[in-house]
Structure 1
Amino acid sequence: MTGQLGIPTARRRYITVCALFWLPLGLSLAPLILLLTQRGMTMTAISGLFAAHSLTAAALELPTGGMADVLGRRAVLMAAGLLNMTALALIGLGSAPWLLALGMVLMGAGRALSSGPAEAWYVDTVHADSGPDSDLRPGLAGGSAATSAALAAGTLLGGALPWLLGVGPDLGARLGEASSGLVLPLSVPLLLGAAVEIAFVLYVLTSLPEPPRQAAALGDVLRGIPATVAGGLRLGGRDAPVRRVFLGAGAAGSALVVIELLMPGRAAAHAGASESGAVLFAALACAGFVCSAVGSRLAPPAARTAGSGERVVMVSLGAGAGGLFLLAATAASTGTGALALSVVGYVLVYLGLGSAGPNQNDILHRRVTSAGRATALSVQSLALQLVGALTGLVVGALRPGPVPWLLGGAVLLAGSLLWLRRSGPAPSAPEPTPPQPLAATPGES
């Protein structure tokens, strides 16, 4: 049984899983857009690839969440690692547009598979050990901080490696000649990330024990997908706090896509070259993820001080919106003052999102049951991916300047304003037994 691990061990393993899963994606973050540009892709085409990733994740979120609730957390997490390994290898080595598109689609599928199982495993373990009233925020904050730390370290390394390889032209040429031009300096971080994914799969296999589950044929799971999707869509409709969590995740997705699409080009323009631009963006992204980790660590004491996690979510998302507005105000400026304001805005975005995340998830876990926990997390990730994909398509069609930043800030501000109204107390009824794929206590209408 998972409850025999004890909370400290479960927390440590959950944090390790978070770090191992997100480290490869951090490695790919700084060089990805610049690599696609070197492969001959336009910004419109790159926006389309990111949309393919996000829409794939959105389409698979609820079905894969249901699979994790029925088939088990560990098997679904291992599948996510294998898909990400394949995706990173394809994008790192592929030059044909269809290979790059396939890699982004597989990465989206891996993201969908990973969006709930690890957290659901941790919450189930804590509940089995100490009951449903256990304080989840320390572990959730630890996992969020580990995610941010892994992204920071991966982004810094992923940005530095191409620059180090590019400094030595002979080494870069040898890399290119060895693979008929498929391996560029910007490819190396993605290939290293594919190797890390193997370690992730092995760790999940050996370190996340689960209680026996009722045998379920894959065909039965697939036939239950329509009901799972319908249940996930009904969840937010019948519980107002859960609905706000889902909408807040969508607002965060919009903000993150704006930064992911626009900051690499902004950094390259300041640096004057792709490789040095990757280093600059890596440093910025690393600082952002460190701020996110700090925000996550501050989430539990902030909730205790404010007397409500909902207040912290409102203020945090509002601070992130303010950061995007500062980035919009400085989008066309190059002076020292504008650069300082840009840094402040960037820090505010990540501090705000980092602080909001654990508090939102604590609210969510107190209102759903174990039978539907992974599915509820998938609905949350669905909102993030879907709104992010739509925002990315709009940003790709807009002219460079302040307008794309203003769009992300407005969406995040709307997500903050959702929390102005207080919610009723969290449900305390005992969790029912399956077979319901989703279960939540109705909140305010």
Structure 2
Amino acid sequence: MTGPHLDPRTARRRFVTACALFWLPLGLSIAPLILLFTERGLAPAAVAGLLAVHSLTAAALELPTGGLSDVLGRRAVLAVAGALNLAALILLALGTAPWLLGLGMALMGAGRALSSGPAEAWYVDTVHADSGPDAELRTGLARASAATSAALAAGTLLGGALPWLLGRGPDLGARLDRATSGLVLPLSTPLLWGAAVEVAFVLYVLAALREPPRPAAGLRQVLGGVPATVAGGLRLGGSDVIVRRILLSAAAAGGALATMELLTPGRAAGLTGAPESGAVLFAALACAGFVCSALGSHLAPPLARRAGSGERAVMLSLGASAAGLLLLGATAASTDAVHVVLAAAGYGLVYLGLGAAGPSENDILHRRVASAGRATALSVQSLALQLAAALLGLVIGFLPRGPLPWLPWLPGGAVLLAGALLWRGRGAARVPPAVADAGAATPAG
């Protein structure tokens, strides 16, 4: 490696820090984003369309950018992801025209695609270089997942509180609106703070995530190496039954997350009666959800041990998430205090289960692919999540909500339950030598 050799503990600490810095700005945007679109005058179907732009852009770029990371290196691709998110947050905070907001969501989707594999692939490569291919990974993956959830929780809480605080001050929100001719609303400020954090993320990645020098890759090598790496990732997903279950489980999680992102902000605003106070309530809920996700990630290693295998742990975790989402649907028609409490419990259960499933799924995945195609395999996984999120989000955006308030929640719960049932009766998966060899043979450019 360039510079001093990194031991697994140092690599884990840097991986965790990079994850926290990457997701904190996105956490700042979670609470205000949907409500900001509404304040800009967009209808629910248009909001669903913007979210679909994000998901479809990420899906379209997942495999090419994963291959790019395997060819050019993890650090450079991750830094570009941060730069794209920086531009996206500025556009979303300041944009008033639908096409500008669409461009911002597309850039954020591109950043999401670029970021889906490099940091984790860097960590696994670094640990394997020090301790060999049998090194224990689940603890590092769980801590990074917990740090991601904690950053999202803190960012969401701050992102919901900032607009509310501006609204509580002596005409601060109105003065801000007048001073910028409506360009910066109180709901825009968390996104601008997130843009500042993105600058710190890019600088940290360039300074801390050292990796072995790769052969200089010109345009011809990149254009030739990326498609070959992508083809290897697709072959692995098509030929390995365990990887296929991981991809379908990721799709189920994507459908669940799309349901939560689309329906919860409006439900929160309906309970409070105003967008700013709705953002505060949603921020508190989302913060609690991400804390539950962090707890689930922390519990993933002992849960896998108690369940007897990572596969059984995934089944139990996704089943718990499905139960939480169906509980949200069952209480959608009522504002009675008991049902509101049950809905909050269901919300937390969704994130607890997803947080517990992720580290076990990725531990299984990393034992079935080698370094040459690791970022691509992670991109295939993220592709499944993004495609499912986009498709189910579009369906939910057009489902009626008045007469049947539970109906939009049903598809997400159904796909999560199907994802859990994929792992029913599956024992611990061993890595066949042929699979490991195939992964190792995936072209790197």
TM-score by length of 1: 0.96
Q: Is the Cα contact below 8 Å between 2:67 and 2:227 reproduced in 1? A: no
The equivalent position to 1:409 in structure 2, one of 407, 413, 422, is 413
d(CA) in 2 for partners of 1:163, 1:324: 28
The root-mean-square deviation of aligned C-alpha atoms, in Å, is 1.5
1:365-409 per-position Cα deviation (integer Å, ceiling 9, x unaligned): 000000000000000000000000000000001012111111100
Alignment of 1:11-26 (within 5 A): 11-26=12-27
Give, in angstroms, the shift of residue 172 of structure 1.
1.1
1:7-38 per-position Cα deviation (integer Å, ceiling 9, x unaligned): 11100000000000000000000000000000
1:258-301 per-position Cα deviation (integer Å, ceiling 9, x unaligned): 00000000000001100000000000000000000000000001
d(CA) in 2 for partners of 1:210, 1:335: 55
Matched with 2:272 is 271
Matched with 1:436 is 442
The equivalent position to 1:425 in structure 2, one of 425, 430, 439, is 430
Matched with 1:347 is 348
Give, in angstroms, the shift of residue 234 of structure 1.
1.9
The more displaced of 415-424 and 117-126 is 415-424
SS at match of 1:210: coil
| One-letter identity of the residue aligned with 2:243 | V
Give, in angstroms, the shift of residue 361 of structure 1.
0.2
d(CA) in 1 for partners of 2:296, 2:334: 28
Matched with 2:217 is 216
Kindly tell me the number of residue pairs found equivalent between the two proteins: 438
The more displaced of 260-269 and 397-406 is 397-406
Matched with 1:441 is none
d(CA) in 1 for partners of 2:105, 2:216: 33
d(CA) in 1 for partners of 2:146, 2:71: 28
d(CA) in 1 for partners of 2:333, 2:243: 39
Q: Is the Cα contact below 8 Å between 2:258 and 2:392 reproduced in 1? A: yes
| One-letter identity of the residue aligned with 2:426 | R
d(CA) in 1 for partners of 2:142, 2:100: 37
Alignment of 1:52-67 (within 5 A): 52-67=53-68
Gaps of 5+ in 2: none
d(CA) in 2 for partners of 1:304, 1:57: 34
| One-letter identity of the residue aligned with 1:99 | L
Matched with 1:296 is 297
SS at match of 1:420: coil
Gaps of 5+ in 1: 439-445
Matched with 2:149 is 148
Give, in angstroms, the shift of residue 341 of structure 1.
1.3
Give, in angstroms, the shift of residue 224 of structure 1.
4.2
1:18-63 per-position Cα deviation (integer Å, ceiling 9, x unaligned): 0000000000000000000000111100100000100000000000
| One-letter identity of the residue aligned with 1:142 | R
| One-letter identity of the residue aligned with 1:181 | G
SS at match of 1:216: coil
d(CA) in 2 for partners of 1:7, 1:427: 26
TM-score by length of 2: 0.96
Matched with 1:49 is 50
Give, in angstroms, the shift of residue 178 of structure 1.
2.2
Alignment of 1:89-128 (within 5 A): 89-128=90-129
Give, in angstroms, the shift of residue 421 of structure 1.
3.9
Identity %: 73
Give, in angstroms, the shift of residue 219 of structure 1.
3.7
| One-letter identity of the residue aligned with 1:184 | L
SS at match of 1:5: coil
